[in-house]
Chains A and B, each alone.
Chain A
Amino acid sequence: MEKMPKWADVVLIPIISLLLATILSAIVILAIGEDPIEAVNLMVTGALGSTYGWGYTLYYATNFIFTGLAVAVAFHARLFNIGGEGQAMLGGLGVAIVCLSVPWPHWTIALLAACAASMIFGAAWAAIPAYLQAKRGSHIVITTIMFNFIAAAFLNYMLVNVMRPQGSQDPATARFPEAVHLPTFQSMFSTAENVMFRGAPANISFFVAILACFVVWALIWRTRLGYEIRAYGHSETGAVYAGISPVRITVIAMLISGALAGLMAINNVMGEAERLVLNATEGAGFIGIAVALMGRSHPFGVFLAAILFGFLYQGGAELALWTSIPRELIVVIQALVILFTGALDNMVRIPLEKLFMALRKGSA
């Protein structure tokens, strides 16, 4: 028998966790002598009160959808892919190479090629930890973390020594040519008299991210591969009994996960920066872990959680801009949300389960 209804699991727990995180954040803001109501107000108006704000919120959300999906797919195979950050960095390298080396006639073709390249590079970066886990039993958490550092160092080297244009002091690639610039929300939704999303980085990649949600959903719950991934994730001995190769599933799940993380680069590198810079991922790979946890590894949950974290990122930036609340506090607030929605899941879950048991007894 289930301990509590499913809606409580997927809706109530995240909301309560979020409320707790908000309350704690409010206390911290009060403690440093600022007004929490005013702070929330600023965050909401800053992130959601204008198309400009939405343009940033959705831009961040796009990154988090990709990395959240990446973590979610691996979770289904009970693999903890901490390497989204490094895989997304490598994805960026793939995008940069594709955009700079071929004179693309139109952004559509370039986008397809960039998608393919970012996925291949991201998957390749995940392939080594996947192989080591599957064949040698090296724990995927450890290897993917280490691969984040290797990716950062590798990208540093590539940008400084290989891809930096001659004479430039900046460890970044050259700007991508005009033809591969992706349509932003501003160019897509503005009319002559009404300019929307002015200057905001949200771009067409957001729709690629939504498409990716559908694809991942179909993959996990509608295909034989998804069936095998979930079966392996629930029981390795069961998988062996059913003739599902643990090695094969480990490698494939990680390749898909790495490809999704790499795909993020079409948003931040191709869509926003339009060149590859150092630390382009800005921690989105790690946020993806929280997003997947909060979204219960379901693409729709990942989508909602990604929007929430996009809001926190953009609202936090606004807060730092307009108040004397220090930048660091924003990180604290974000950390509280991650802590409550991700790590402290059981703190809310167990009392809630007890409550539901008691309620059920009362009504019986």
Chain B
Amino acid sequence: MTVPAIELKGISKAFGPVQANKDISISVAPGTIHGIIGENGAGKSTLMSILYGFYKADKGEIWINGQKTDIPDSQAAIASGIGMVFQHFKLVENFTVLENIVLGAEDGGLLAPSLAKARKELKALEEEYELFVDPDKRIDEIGVGMQQRVEILKALYRKAEILILDEPTGVLTPAEADQLFRILDRLRSEGKTIIVITHKLREIMENTDTVSVMRRGEMTATVKTADTNPQELAELMVGRKVLLQVDKVPAQPGKPVLEIENLSVTDSAGVERVKGIDLSVRAGEIVGIAGVAGNGQSELLEVLGGMRPGQGSIKLNGERLAMHGPGSDGQARRAQGVAHVPEDRQREGLIMDFYAWENVAFGYHRDPAYKRGLFMDNAALRADTEAKIEKFDVRPPNGWLTAKSFSGGNQQKIVVAREIERNPDLLLVGQPTRGVDIGAIEFIHKQIVALRDQGKAILLVSVELEEIFSLSDRIAVMFDGHIMGERLPAETDEKELGLLMAGVAGEAA
């Protein structure tokens, strides 16, 4: 039997009363891809942080290539041949690719010799692993997929033999994700050992050799990927049976609620992001907008949600809405009957340092129900929060915690609870389940479908094709600010949508 590339023996780590990792042991054979899957807060990232020297384990041992190893800091991790690619890249935006790769690994006081040496090594690495990037492009000039390659190259440049990737596909399009896994496959064939942390079952099933499931700080199972299936993994993750497919009856669309005609949006840099689109959403219908991130979907949601001005015509229940100036801001939109679950809950949908009960009023803080005389009626607000926490099963059920102390899924439940409970005519939903665990995804999807069944109109934007397919009654694909076409989910497939997303027009465009 070969010596494992990495072996963890009985790792435990507590933060105060929270046991983030409980007696965890895994062993990863060299030259394999090992997946670690679990819900948010299951302890995956803590475990990897221990391996990378950010945290020190309370108990347990780390063995690398059969040697017991101490990893007090990231320097030691790098020295032991461990490379880490974080979910949020750690790159200097206005440095070139080459400068980023050398950063922190320069030899000597002069930069030029290091850069020259790095350029040569980079070329060798690129050829060895077919990982091509332009070393002289600045980071802010290249796409996310490329940036991730730079992160991988950074690790390889530091002679990493073991590569850890934390939620690597969170920011990638399906095509970019496929490319990433091709790269990882190549790295594996060159003998590297790879650990991928993710909550996406499909990625695990398609790309890994073995998989470990974590739940509430414990390793619940380690199995060969070939011997398991998504349903079993999901159950191991959540601890109960889950519905991977949204259970919904066919839509009963009514009259049009939202009618968009010739809408154009120009961003603050003067670039036209939405280029004269027409779209309508009827009552009792979910319209999903598919597309690679950055093709105008965000701007479309922002105009509808009152976050930026636009040109053209938007009608809600037959009445034209203002597109700039008075009557076009977020307050006005809420009054007009538009609720908005924004794409980025941490920067937009919530104030992370506010208590949960303060966030329940966010955007509706001028509602007379929350007003008493000159002041805000905080008691009413807190009572309202308790009801919402209960109904939406927010955990922990404590309104006096700041938003940042909740997991991603529970943060999103707070936002969804706030918006859905307003009983809006039109609900805008952006990336509702980004960074949200399976249990919460199921719950949030159910709530959205329930709102549809009450006869409300829902406009969904998601970069997850699976989500678009399982929720939408009608799918529109956006590319470069245009709507490339509309399809019914039953009459199309991922391949066709993928082509539309790439800008290849279909016949019905």
Interface, chain A (partner B; CB < 8 A): 1-2, 218, 222-224, 227-228, 230-231, 234-235, 237-238, 240-245, 357, 360-361, 364
Q: Who on chain A is nearest to B363 by CB?
A: A242
Chain A residues in 8 Å Cβ range of B15: 1, 357, 360-361, 364
- Known contacts: A224-B371, A227-B361, A360-B16. The answer to whether A241 contacts B354 by CB under 8 A is no
A sample of 11 more A-B contacts (CB under 8 A), given A222-B375, A227-B358, is: A1-B405, A222-B376, A235-B347, A238-B347, A241-B305, A241-B349, A242-B330, A242-B331, A243-B333, A243-B334, A361-B15
B459 to chain A, nearest CB (A): 16
**Bound state CA distance, A118 and B421, in angstroms?**
46
Q: A residues within 8 A CB of B14?
A: 361, 364
In the assembled complex, which residues on chain B have CB atoms less than 8 Å from the CB atom of A223? 374-376
Q: Kindly list chain A residues whose C-beta atoms are within 8 Å of the C-beta of B348.
A: 235, 237-238, 240-241
Known contacts A1-B405, A237-B347; is-contact A243 B329 (Cβ 8 Å): yes
Cα(A224)–Cα(B15), bound, Å:
36
Shortest Cβ distance from A356 into B: residue: B16
B474 CB within 8 Å of chain A: no
- How many whole Å from B117's CB to the nearest CB in chain A? 36
Q: Judge whether B353 is part of the interface by a CB distance below 8 angstroms.
A: yes
Residues of B within 8 A of A1 (CB): 15-16, 18, 405
- The CA of A235 and the CA of B348, in the complex, are separated in Å by 8
B302 CB → nearest A CB, Å: 9
Residues of B within 8 A of A235 (CB): 347-348, 351-352
Knowing A224-B366, A224-B371, A361-B58, the reply to whether A241 touches B351 (Cβ < 8 A) is no
* Interface bracket on B: 35 or more
Which residues of A have CB within 8 Å of B307? 240-241
Query: B104 at the A/B interface (Cβ < 8 Å)?
Result: no
Residues of B within 8 A of A234 (CB): 351-354
Q: Please report the C-alpha to C-alpha distance between residue A244 and residue B376 in the assembled complex, in whole angstroms.
A: 16
A160 and B197 CA atoms in complex are apart in Å by 73
CB pair A228 B365 closer than 8 Å: yes
Q: List 18 A-B contacts (CB under 8 A).
A: A222-B376, A231-B354, A234-B352, A234-B354, A237-B344, A240-B308, A241-B330, A241-B340, A242-B330, A244-B330, A244-B331, A245-B329, A360-B15, A360-B16, A361-B15, A364-B14, A364-B15, A364-B17
Known: A238-B350, A238-B351. A231 touches B362 (CB 8 A): yes
- Asked if A218 and B375 make an inter-chain contact with CB atoms under 8 angstroms apart, the answer reads yes
Chain A residues, CB < 8 A from B362 = 231, 238, 242
B residues less than 8 Å from A231 (CB atoms): 351, 354, 362, 365
The winner among A218, A222, A227, A228 for most chain B CB atoms within 10 A is A227
**A222 neighbours in B (Cβ, 8 Å):** 375-376, 378
Closest chain B residue to A359 by CB distance? B16
Query: Is the pair B18, A243 in contact by a Cβ cutoff of 8 Å?
Result: no
Q: Is B306 engaged at the interface, CB distance under 8 Å to the other chain?
A: yes
Residue of B with least CB distance to A227 = B365
B48 contacts the other chain (Cβ, under 8 Å)?
no
Judged by a CB distance under 8 angstroms, whether B102 is at the interface is no
Which residues of chain A are near B378, meaning CB under 8 Å? 222
A243-B331 contact in complex given A1-B18, A238-B351, C-beta closer than 8 Å: yes
* Max chain B Cβ within 10 angstroms of own Cβ: one of A241, A357, A360: A241
B332 interface hit (Cβ, 8 Å): yes
The CA of A1 and the CA of B354, in the complex, are separated in Å by 14
Who on chain A is nearest to B14 by CB? A364
B16 touches A364 (CB 8 A): yes
CB distance from A46 to the nearest CB of B (A): 41
Give A1 to B406 CA distance when docked, in angstroms.
9
Q: Which residue of A lies closest to B18 (CB)?
A: A1
- Cβ of B342 within 8 Å of any chain A Cβ, yes or no, is yes
The answer to whether A243 touches B332 (Cβ under 8 A) is yes
A residues in contact with B305, CB < 8 Å: 241
